[in-house]
Amino acid sequence: MSDALARLIEHWKTDTHSTYNTWFLWEERVKNFRSIRRGIGQVVRDIQAGTFGNAYRGSSLETLVGSIAEQRQIFKGADHAFLWKPKLRIPDIYENPKNQAAFAQLLNHCDCCNTAEEIIEGIQRIDALAIKGLGPAVANLLYFIHPTLVPPFNTAIVKGFNAVTGGNVKLGRWDHYLSMREGLIRLNEEHRKLLSNDLGAIAGLMFDVGAGRYAAPPRLDDAAAVCAWETDLARVREESAAAQKQWEAARESDATHTEIQGWLRDLGLALGFDVWVAANDKGRRYLDGLLGDKCLGQLPEGVTKGMDSVRLIDVVWLTKGDHHVAGAFEVEHSTSIYSGIVRMLDLALGTEVGKNSTLFLVAPDNRRDEVELQLCRPAFSRVSELDIRYLPYSELREHRGAMARFGNGLKPVVEISQRLQRRGMAASSAT
């Protein structure tokens, strides 16, 4: 099949009416990447802010998908998958806030990541939620974020892939999409000199075959091709099952992490501070609203000093008026403590308003030893200069109500926390 497919590709590239010439080489296609990526960001912001609404018509998603569907050479009808079908109640992202938030999280996750592994992780996570009607059509959005890692997806592309490879990919299933993706990448690598690292090219070829413009080349290795496809599918399913177990534990951890952030947010407001919640957590659901409710919309420039890591500190309390950082909190429920310490070091050592701030690592009661071990890293040699304190969950849980009613300033929180220092220094001072 390899030689026959190579001849088909060569013919396809010289055909002035093929998708290769009418779409892939079309200058407007390249220009669309930036605007579509901006549109994806707008959908995420609208969902996180709670302004997306509960209908497709008139939403930022309609504008986004419409701009993709306008590329009719390959994306005609791309909006069908996102149109609200009330009798079937699909796709279930308009009237279900949790599903809507998960959709935004997928888009934001893929917009922020850079590797195929991270993208697949995001896809497997949304697949595990089994949101009705939200399937691989979403890949048409992700393609415009990562064209070298995510191929487009529609009926004609699937038909073409099955015809060329002997696969049995089915519409509407993420595991089938991921197996098709791997098959397309193999074909693309095999014929890389004739195609492109942009997977839109190989997808366009499959589209033209699936739409009937070209017949699939004769296959001499049907059994091998089908076996390869089945192997891909089996591996995708095994990886998804393993990932599902990890995410179940991670969801429980995320819920606890968000709850602790919510406690710190509410306590900071009650004690008279302005409060900042990590930029990537503001849109998380908490109680009857969002975690970022009543918090600062952005950090003062003097706090960040060009260091984006500071924006990701879980909770920051700032004095009203001068916005000096009074306290910074990193919640370390089960994840690595290393990154949290690095963010607080950036704040304390890299900014004027962060100097003399009190830094808190908030963690389960049984993680103190682990926290102190992390402080022994050579990278944290300057920790001794800082006032880093350990705040156990149990102390925060027990005393937060009383502190909110009767406390003022940072002193009550300092009193229920414990001073942390590097173990080597503790031993030195002991001697």
Q: How do the domains of the chain map onto residue ranges?
A: 2-220, 251-430
**Quick check: 358 pLDDT over 80?**
yes
Q: Which architecture, in CATH terms, is 251-430?
A: 3-Layer(aba) Sandwich (3.40)
**Quick check: 32 pLDDT over 50?**
yes
Give pLDDT, residue 332.
83
- C-alpha 21/C-alpha 365 separation (Å) is 63
Confidence tier at 30 by pLDDT (50, 70, 90):
confident
State pTM to two decimals. 0.58
Are the CB atoms for 67 and 175 separated by under 8 Å?
Answer: no
Contacts of 216-220 with CB under 8 Å at 24 or more apart are 216/160, 216/163, 216/164, 217/1, 217/4, 217/5, 217/7, 217/8, 217/164, 218/1, 218/4, 219/1, 219/164, 219/165, 219/166, 220/1
Residues 203-261: tens digit of each pLDDT: 999 999 999 888 888 765 566 765 765 676 577 567 767 766 765 655 656 668 889 99
Confidence tier at 426 by pLDDT (50, 70, 90):
very low
Name the β-bridge partners of 392.
363
**Quick check: 42 pLDDT over 70?**
yes
Average pLDDT in the 184-204 region? 95
Extract the runs of DSSP E, i.e. beta strands, from 281-392. 285-286, 289-290, 315-318, 325-331, 358-363, 387-392
Rounded to whole angstroms, what are the CA distances from 389 to 56, 73, 297, 319, 330?
Answer: 48, 60, 27, 19, 11
Mean pLDDT: which of 186-200, 333-347, 362-376, 412-426 is highest?
A: 186-200
Q: Closest Cα partner for 329 from 273, 253, 369, 384?
A: 273
Give pLDDT, residue 210.
93
Average pLDDT in the 184-213 region? 94
Give pLDDT, residue 339.
66
Average pLDDT in the 54-62 region? 91
Q: Does residue 181 sit in helix, strand or coil?
A: helix
- C-alpha 2/C-alpha 188 separation (Å) is 11
Q: Look at the block and give the residue holding tokens 């590239």.
A: 13
H/E run at residue 48: helix 27-49
Are the CB atoms for 269 and 293 separated by under 8 Å?
Answer: no
Give pLDDT, residue 117.
93
